[in-house]
Structure formats: C-alpha cells, structure tokens
Structure 1
Amino acid sequence: MRVVANNLIDMSLNPLIYGLFNKQKPSKLNKEEYSRWLTGFIDGEGNFQVYLDRNYLRVMFRIRLHIDDIAVLLSIRDFLGVGRVNKDGNSCLFIISDITALTTILFPLLDKYGLFTTKWLDFLDFKVVVRHLSTSKTTRLTSIQEDWIKSIMSGMISGRTKYNYDLIPTLIVNPYWLLGFIEAEGTFGIKNLSTYFQIGQNIRNSMVLNQIANYLELLPKSFKFSIKTQPPVVSHVINNKTEVKVLMINNIDALHDYLMFFLLNMPFQTRKYKDFLLWCLVLHLHKQGYFYLLEGRSLVYLISQYINDGRYSTNVHRGKTPEISYINQVLSLKLPVALQPEMLHVDLAKACAQIIKKRSIYVYDKGELIKGSPFASYSSAMGAIGYSKSSIWARRSIDTGKVVGGRFTFYSNPI
C-alpha cells in the first residue's frame, strides 16, 4: 500500500485502499444499531404482500436482491432468527411467511423502530390481515371475507391511492437508519467521469427525502485542510413522468470534505461498500488533481465501468476490476498542481488546465484513424465527427478507451 506523504491531504487513503483490497466481513453492529440499519433497509427494499391462492389467504414479508448480495439476506435472517433465504434465478429472497414469526419477531421490531415512508401504511394493512390469520382456524375464506381481503389488497403497494400521512411516524434521521436506506436506495455514481451521490423515491415520500436533505446539509466538515469549502447543497429534482424525486449532491468539495468522511466512518453491511470505496477513490483523484493526468482519467473511466451494475456477476459486459498496482501507479505520479488550503476544486481544475500542455488528439472511427488526425484541440476533434464543438466527450474520453456514439475513440498518441 502506498505510504502517504501528507496526512492532512491523504488521510482518506489508508482505510480506503485497505477496504478495497482486503476481504472483510461487514462491521459488527450491536442490536440497537442493526435494528436501526435494518428498518432503513426495509424502508427501501422491504415488501409486504397479501395474496390469494385460490380461496386461501397467504401473507409474506420479503426482501428481493441480486443474487450477488445474498450474504446480506443471510445476515438479516441470522439477526432475526426467523425466515428463509431462497435463490430465484439472478435474484435472492428473504421471506417470512410464518404467522408466529411475523407477530412475535418482525412486528415488534417495526412497531418499536418504525418505517418512515408510505411503506408504513402497507405494514399497517399487512398487520390487520396477519392478525386475522393468527386468530382464524383456517386460511380458507368465505365469499364475504374474500371481498374484504380484496379491498385491502387493492389499496396496498402500487394500488394505493389514498395516503393518510398522519399515520406515518415522523422521521428523525438516525445515522444507522440512514445507512440502511442509502444501501437500499442510494447511488454512488459517476457520470461523464465526475462523481455524484443521489437518493431517489416516489414523490409521495418527499417528506422522507426532505428530512434526509436537511440532515446531509448539516454534516460536519471533516477534511479541514481545505478552508473555503462549504457544506453540501442538496438539489431536488422531480421527474414528472415517473413521479420520482431525486436528492443529489455533485459538488466535488462537498462530497469529499463532508459526505465521504461521514460515510467512511459508517459500518456498511452490503456489497455497496465496495462501490462506495471506489467512488471515494475517484473523489480523491478529482480533489487532488490526479484526474487531470491522462493516467488518472483512465483510472476514473475504468472505475466508472466497474461499479454499481458493472460489477454484477450476471453482467455479460462486466467491467474490469481495478488492480491495486495500477491504482498505486497513478497515485505515485507527480501532480501538475499541489492542492492549497484556499483552493476550491474549480480553482484546482483551472490551474491544472493552464499548466498541462495542449495535446494532439487522434480520433478513431471503429479502430480506423479518421482524416485530419491529429487535431490540435478538443473542439476541432469533435467538430470533425459531426458533434458540437463545445461537447465535452473528447476531453472526458481521451486515452480511456471509451467509445463515443458507438464508434469514436480518442487518444493523445497514435495506436
């Protein structure tokens, strides 16, 4: 592992690199912490189902995940001491359908810690049905009972049209609940080789997203070397077609100096921890200026192709795992500009752009060098292939191997 020279600047690298390349079990949580984490995870991934099997009433609580994430379902089963874990193609499921297990284990947990999305309303309806089953001698329904059950079923989950928000507990954000919710619904993303963090929910859960946004905007600053950076500003974006509301932070300084260090100290329980650590590495490359070196940008591109869906074993286009030797090679490079305490990220980016010499840009169309190469500027390279000269694709993609428009690649030297 690389020995860092400046602890003020590189204080994030030791736990980050260690976590990336040392297989380790999720951090152990005590009962209270795990309960908070689990309710946050259920708020994101849990599902309460009531259904009819001919004239017989069935109920099921379940969590469905990708098969690669089966370990977390086994952990939940072991914590609760009830339920079963099944494999279903590329998915895995944790299921509790036993009435006694539901009423004596799951219900007390959720009654104590609560759910804060509209999923709580499904839970209340689910409890009514389970209570009926617990006192009934048979699961077979009369015609009147069947009509009653169908009326409940039609108003649960996606069929719900009426929301009594007064029944839903008010969220006071607990960090362990938030971690569980982030592991279920959060995204550590890289778009156009730049980092962002987001959480999305249907607009009916805006009250939860607003509380989370308030919490994130009050995070303490951990990276105090930079003296001018400001707390996160959380943007709220609504897609009117899908009725999904997204919280997003994409400012490099806020992500690095506030959010990253907060989450580095949190005990992730799922494989999203690996995505998070690689995302942190990309943040570090941006914050320190490695990104403005060709090798740094290539590493960012490699990571962007690997994390999130790119790492799943079922992905036929699975990304290549970044190697520790390559990461150390990039981190050993001399930076074009040394980060100064008074610098914002935008200041560092401008300083790097002024120092790094202009490069020749070789453009390839499906592996064939196009006429006019090499180009003296990114804008002329983009113009030559019919794109807007203001497009960022050449600048973002050079020497990464990224294919633009299904055809074009960009290099600073002929290949």
Structure 2
Amino acid sequence: MKNQVNKNFYEWVAGFIDAEGCFHIKRKIMSNNKMRYYFEFVIKLHIDDEAVLRTICHILGVGRVVLRPKYNTCSFEVGSEKELRILIDLLDEFQLMGDKYLDYINFREAFFLYFDRSDSVTESLKTKIEEIRANHNTKRASTTLPVNYKRVITDYKLLGFIEGEGSFIVQTRGLTPKFELELTSAQKPLLIDICEYLMLRIQLIADATQPLNLPSKGGIKIRDRKAKGNSKPSVRLEITGIDFLHNYFNVFLSKLEFYSRKKEDFKSFCFICNKLFSKAHIDNEEVKILLLRLSEGMNGARLSTNKLTDKTLTDKIICRDEETPDS
C-alpha cells in the first residue's frame, strides 16, 4: 500500500505531466519493409530542471534522464514496454485533469493494441493505430472529454500543474504581485474547476482564521484572451490582491512540498508579499529598490545564465528591516 508521502508525489507527478508531459506514438519502416511502432513518454525542460527530473526518475523507478547541454535542455524519457506499463498503471490510478488526458488515452489504446496483439502486425492493426495517430497531440481535432470522465483535483495534482504552468509575478509598476495560470481556450473548463477548488481550500483557511471574512479586494478571476499573431485564443486564471495572496493563497501553497525549482520563485514571491503586506517598502526607498531587484530575479531570470542571487538580496532586506522598523 502506498504511503501518504508517495501518494502525494504520485498526485504531483500527474499534475506535472498535465502541464509538461508528452505521449509519443512513432512508427518506423524496417529494412524488411515491415512496420514497427515505438511508444515514448517524455518530459522536456530547461537543463536547470535536471534535479526534478532525476527525482521523478528515482521515485517512479522508471525511465532515464538525458542531458543535452548544446540545447540547454534535459529530458525524462520512458520508452521500454515494461516501464511504460508501470507508468500507465500509475496514470490509471492518478488520473490526469486536463486535455492531456485525451493524449494519454490515445497513447494507452494504441500501446495495448500493439503490444497485446496475438499475432504479427496486420493491416487492420496498422489502420487502427494510424487512425489514433491522426488524432493525437497537436493533430487532435476535438478536445471533448469522454462522457464517463470525472475530473478529480487534489492539492498535489494542482501543485504539480502550478509548478509546470503557473507564474508568480511581481509587476514592477507599483510592486504589484499576482499569480497566473494561462492555457488555451479549450482548457477553460479546467481553469473553472481549479478556481472553484481553490476557493473551497481558501475558504477553509479563512474559516480557521477570520471566519467569513475574505478580503473585499483581489481574489481569483478568469479572463478570456484573444489570439495574437500566430497564437491561439487563451484563458487566464489570475489571483491578485496583497491581502488575498499573503493571507490565503500563499498560506495554502506553503502547506505543500514543492518538488521543482519553482519553489524558489514561490519563496521570493512570499517574501515580497510579506514585505508589501507589512508596508515595509513605504517611505523606504532602499527596501523598495531591493524588492524590485529581487522580483527581477524570478522566473526566467533565475536561469543559470543569470548572475543575480536572490539570497544576497533577501539578506540585505532582512538586515535593513532589523535596522529600521516597518512603517
């Protein structure tokens, strides 16, 4: 029986796969003109994310981690039949939440058609698999989930998804913090369900601290965004308001264990929100500048090509706070 720590991690992996995973169904014509199919699951990230991929590889006990320094990428890859069966068992139990589930059930169907066949690869089998390939990943025409599908969101599935797709942002104008999750418009039902789930979790925190007293400003909103250039229309979940972020959303996430380097962005985000909430930056230009610099070192700026060290800035702010009481 899975212990609670592993259960949390397996749920986290499912959420992370929803954000970053890719299921490939490949074919190859052999020298004898026979067709062979290959099945592969991949998570491809920036090379700085090697640690989280090694954690996934170690705990799941499948796959390998491949580094490609020339392209600044690293990948977690599962390609053997035996290991893919283990991954499929995991995802059957810890079901995906979004449209990635459609890629998964296509992959799963083709996988079992191919490996559980009773004889050689027949024309009929090739036709079935090719039909699946023609409506798989970016070629998929419909994003309608199966009638019997029931989306199940958990804390750790959501955290995994956030670590893959979420952004902790501090806008430089006015030092305004916010959290964003942006997906294609087809994924709007998922964001609506995530919004409802978060409100339930946040209400529990509010009831335990300030019953029925959620802040009047800020909160969770979903915004539709029009297509720009070659991009598709999208939908964005936004969480704003320093009170709502500091006292509720950040508190909720702080109770969970991050597995990727996104935890460093979250730590910086929480630190900045704390200082903004306590108004440490008011009439204190030095603290304001340091908070701005700390915010500029988050997200993409945290990559190995950047030299800014968040710990140095954090230490400076702490020292300054000890010298000057918060306003």
TM tier, smaller: 0.7 to 0.9
Change (3 A) 1:167 1:247: same
User: Would you say the 8 A contact 2:268–2:310 is kept in 1?
Assistant: no
Aligned to 2:268: 278
Gapped regions of structure 2 (runs ≥ 5): 30-34
Give the alignment of 1:135-154 within 5 angstroms: 135-136=116-117, 145-154=125-134
1:299 maps to which of 261, 281, 290: 290
How far apart, in 2, do the equivalents of 1:143 and 1:319 lie?
Answer: 58
The answer to whether the 8 A contact 2:180-2:236 is kept is: yes
Q: Which one has a bigger Cα radius of gyration? A: 1
* Contact persistence 1:223–1:257 (CA under 8 A): no
Is the aligned partner of 1:58 residue 2:38? Answer: yes
**Alpha-carbon distance in 2 for matches of 1:261, 1:296:** 23
Instruction: Report percent identity of matched pairs.
Output: 27
Greater displacement, 47-56 / 252-261:
47-56
Cα distance in 1 for partners of 2:54, 2:48 equals 12
Select the structure that is richer in helix: 2
Q: Which residue of 1 aligns with 2:279?
A: 289
Matched residue SS, 1:331: helix
Query: Residues 190-216 of structure 1: CA distance to partner in whole angstroms, max 9, x if unpaired?
Result: 112321111121121212111111122
1:240 is displaced (CA, Å) by 2.0
Is 1:91 aligned to 2:73, yes or no?
yes
Per-residue CA deviation, residues 251-284 of structure 1 (Å, 9 max, x unaligned), is 1110001011111111111111111001111101
Residues 188, 276 of structure 1: 8 Å contact kept = yes
Normalising by structure 2, we get a TM-score of 0.85
1:28-66, CA deviations, whole angstroms, 9 ceiling, x for partnerless residues?
Answer: 961211111111111111111112234431110111111
Q: 1:230 to 1:65 in 2, by over 3 A?
A: same
Partner of 1:46: 21
**Contact (CA 8 Å) 2:11, 2:156: kept in 1 or not?**
yes
Quote the Cα distance in structure 2 between the aligned partners of 1:245 and 1:134.
Answer: 39
Flag structure 1 segments of 5+ consecutive residues without an equivalent. Answer: 1-27, 338-415
CA distance in 2, matches of 1:291, 1:228: 24
Choose the corresponding residue for 1:194, options 170, 176, 184: 176
Residues 231 and 80 (structure 1), Cα distance of their counterparts in 2 relative to 1, 3 Å cut: farther
CA deviations on 1:110-133 (whole Å, 9 max, x unpaired) are: 111211111111111101211123
Deviations 1:175-233 (A, max 9, x none): 11111111111111111232111112112121211111112223023775xx7734862
- Aligned partner of 1:34 in structure 2 is 9
- Superposition pairs for residues 11-410 of structure 1, below 5 Å? 30-54=5-29, 55-88=35-68, 89-103=71-85, 105-136=86-117, 145-167=125-147, 169-192=149-172, 193-218=175-200, 219=202, 220-221=205-206, 229-230=215-216, 233-241=219-227, 242-292=232-282, 293-313=284-304, 315=305, 317-323=306-312, 324-335=314-325, 337=327
- Residue identity matched to 1:279: F
Question: Is contact 1:38-1:180 (8 Å) kept?
Answer: yes
* 1:50 alignment partner, SS class: strand
